[in-house]
Structures are given as structure tokens and as C-alpha cells.
A and B are shown apart, each in its own frame.
Chain A
Amino acid sequence: MNQKISKLPVKCPSCASGLAVQSLVCPDCETTVAGLYDLPVLLFLSDEELTFIFQFVKNSGSLKQMSKEMGLSYPTIRNYLNDLIEKLNQLEHERE
């Protein structure tokens, strides 16, 4: 049986602000914990950006190795990383 896995929404569909977590449920005993928790910054990134970070860590941060693996030039990979750093800084700044 295929179980459809929903993508975690991170932006409010009404006002586009970042969402927060209000309750967590244990799938075994169904205990619910209520509160107000911020979502990790990484969850605000797209699938492509998360895949890039995954590849970056797997390649020990070697952009040269990543460029070989992905078939893209070193400047392309470096630019993507720089843009990603800028986006993370912006997301962090928004949360402060």
C-alpha cells in the first residue's frame, strides 16, 4: 500500500509568513506535546537546495569534487553555494 507523504508546509498560505510548530504527536502512544516551536532554518530551503547541502557534506565540502560529480563547472557550484549562504543569512535575519 502506498502511503502518500505530505511535504511539510513552512509558509503561511494566508500571509506567507514562516510557520511555527504548535503540537507534536508520538505515533506510538499518541501523546501530544503542545507549545510553540520554531521550524529549523533548513526546512525553509527547497528540495534542490537541500540536495545541494547533502552533496556538499558528503563531499567533505570539496566544491571541485562536487563539480566533477554533478558535471557542472567550479564557478557554477561556487555561485550556487554563495547564493545559498546569502539565503540562509537572510532567513536567519528574518527570524531574529
Chain B
Amino acid sequence: MKENRNNIFVWLTNPFHFWGGSKLLTAGIVVLILHIPAGLLFGARFDGAIDMHISFDVSLLQVTTDVIIAWLSMAVSFYAVAKLFKAPARFIDIAGATALARLPLLLSVIPGYLFVPDAATVEEILALEGIDFYLLIAGSVIIMAFVIWFFIVLFNAFKINSNLKGRKLATGFILGVLVAEIVSLLLIREVLSGIV
């Protein structure tokens, strides 16, 4: 049970082993707040529970709405699924874990920004050649690594807070992510269309 606290791999993939409650929630809120300057600086939108897109034209209202809805939809969805399976989960732990789990997604804005192709349409992207093409492939691979890292941390966030195992764990995680993504996409569109 007792992992070595100096084990970097555990900290990077499952910090929830060591942190929970208010400490985890505080760290998670810091990560959420960092989404706002990162979104504005790199022109990134987090317009879905598991989404990050570089769109350059991003407003403070958009990125703030995105991140609040993306986080809350994931936290509430995971909590609801955990309760559905009668898991003894606490909302404070799930809220903190889902917030901190967004760190890899937040960091993915850097390669997303650096490797964004000089092409606006699918036809232009498919027509890329030479160095631009290789940069696109390299960028995609790096971003994919960040996305995989994000899903590993997110999975551990659900696993440790639900204590589900086997098929129930896999079903619960997929269900939680799907519900969160659908709810967040609908809510972000609804809220922003009502304000803007």
C-alpha cells in the first residue's frame, strides 16, 4: 500500500495516492486558474471535458466558462457514476482529483501552440509537404503523449475515488467521461450563446 513518496512516476500518474481532501482541491484549483492565462496566451480553448483546441481568437469569458464547465461536468459525472455503483466517494476528493488531472491537458497547449500547422482547412492540412508535414506529425505525436498522460491521471482519479475494480471500473470510467463530455459540450454552447 505504501508507495515511496520520492517515486516521480507515482506523482506524475497518480498523485491522489498521496493527496486528498482540501490539499488536493487547493492544488486542483491552482491548475484550473492557470488554464485562464494559458488559454489567453496560447489561444487555447478547453471547450469540453476532455478537449483542448488552439483557436487563437480566445476571450477571457470563453476560456473561464470553458474551464469551469469542463471541470464541474467531469467532477459531477464521476461522483454520480461512483454513487451509482455504491462507491463510498467524497465529492471534495473527486473535485480536487478531476481538477488536478487536467494538468497534462493544460500543458498540452505548449506543443499545441508550437506545432500548429500553417493551414486553416482540412485540404490545406492534407496538402502540407516537407518540413511542415514533419512538424505536423511531430506535434501530433507530442500532443498525443500529453493526451495519453491526461487519460492515465484521469483514470487513476476515478479509480482511487471509486475503489471499483475490473469491469465495473472500466464501465464506470467510460460512462463518466462520456457523460461529462456530452454535458460539457452542451452547457458550454448554451451558456456562451446566452451571454455573447
A75 near B1: Cβ-Cβ < 8 Å:
no
A73 near B16: Cβ-Cβ < 8 Å:
yes
Taking CB atoms, residues of chain B closer than 8 Å to A74 are: 20-21, 90, 93
Contacting residues of chain A (73-95) with chain B, CB-CB under 8 angstroms: 73-76, 78-80, 82-83
Stretch among A4-12, A13-21, A34-42, A64-72 lining the B interface: A64-72
Complex Cα spacing A78 to B21, Å = 13
A79 near B18: Cβ-Cβ < 8 Å:
no
Interface residues on A, range: 10 to 19
B88 near A78: Cβ-Cβ < 8 Å:
yes
Instruction: Report which A residues bind B (CB closer than 8 A).
Output: 48, 52, 67, 70-76, 78-80, 82-83
- Interface size for B (C-beta < 8 A) is 17
Distance of A30 from chain B, by nearest CB (Å): 41
Contacting residues of chain B (26-51) with chain A, CB-CB under 8 angstroms: none
A73 near B93: Cβ-Cβ < 8 Å:
yes
Taking CB atoms, residues of chain B closer than 8 Å to A83 are: 163
Interface of A is mostly: helix
Q: 9 smallest A-B Cβ distances: which pairs?
A: A73-B20, A74-B20, A79-B163, A75-B160, A80-B1, A75-B20, A75-B93, A76-B17, A75-B161
Among B1, B24, B89: residue with most chain A CB under 10 A = B1
B21 near A76: Cβ-Cβ < 8 Å:
no
Taking CB atoms, residues of chain A closer than 8 Å to B24 are: 73
Taking CB atoms, residues of chain A closer than 8 Å to B5 are: 71
Closest to B97 in A: A75
Q: B19 interface residue, CB < 8 Å from A? A: yes
Taking CB atoms, residues of chain B closer than 8 Å to A79 are: 160, 163
**With contacts A48-B1, A74-B93 known, is A82 near B17, CB below 8 A?**
no
Distance of A75 from chain B, by nearest CB (Å): 5
Taking CB atoms, residues of chain B closer than 8 Å to A71 are: 5, 18
Q: B2 interface residue, CB < 8 Å from A? A: yes
